[in-house]
Amino acid sequence: MIDLGEWTMETEILDEGRQDWVSFAVVSQIVGAYEGSELGPRAMSRRAVEVAVALVESGRIVAGDLTPAGFHPWPGDAYEVVARIRRDAEDVIARHGYIPLAEVCWFATPELVARARS
C-alpha cells in the first residue's frame, strides 16, 4: 500500500500506467490536479510534457502508439524518444492550444508493456 503522504503526480501517473495505457490528456489532468488548473491549458500541457519527459528519461514509463493491434513503443534510445515527444507535443500545442486526447503518444510502465506482450 502506498503512503498517501508520498503520493505525487509522478506516482499517480505510474499507478495509472501499471493498469492501463495513459494518454497525454490524463497526464495533463494529473498535473492540473497537483499544480493547479489555473495554469491554463497551454501551460498545463507544456508542464505535462516536462513531467512525461522526466519519467521517460528515467525509464519509468514508455512512450508509444496505441493502435487496434496494441501498444507499440517508439523506437530509439531515451534521447530520441524525448526529442520526438517534445517536437510532436509542441506541434500539437501550437495547433490546438493544449494536448487533446489521443494526440502525441500514449504511455505505459515497462511492466504493463511486458504483460501485454506475454
pLDDT tens digits, residue range 41-59?
999 999 999 999 999 999 9
Domain boundaries, the chain: 8-117
Predicted confidence (pLDDT) per residue in 93-112, tens digit: 999 999 999 999 999 999 99
pLDDT at 1 > cutoff 50: no
Phi-psi sector, 102: left (phi>0), alpha (psi -120 to 50), beta: left
- Please name the CATH architecture into which domain 8-117 falls: Orthogonal Bundle (1.10)
Instruction: Indicate the pLDDT class of residue 6, thresholds 50, 70 and 90.
Output: low
- Phi, psi of 73, rounded to the nearest 5 degrees: -60, 145
- Residue where the block lists cell 491549458: 41
Mean pLDDT of the chain: 91
- CA-CA-CA-CA dihedral for 28, 30, 32, 34, to nearest 10: -150
pLDDT for 5 equals 52
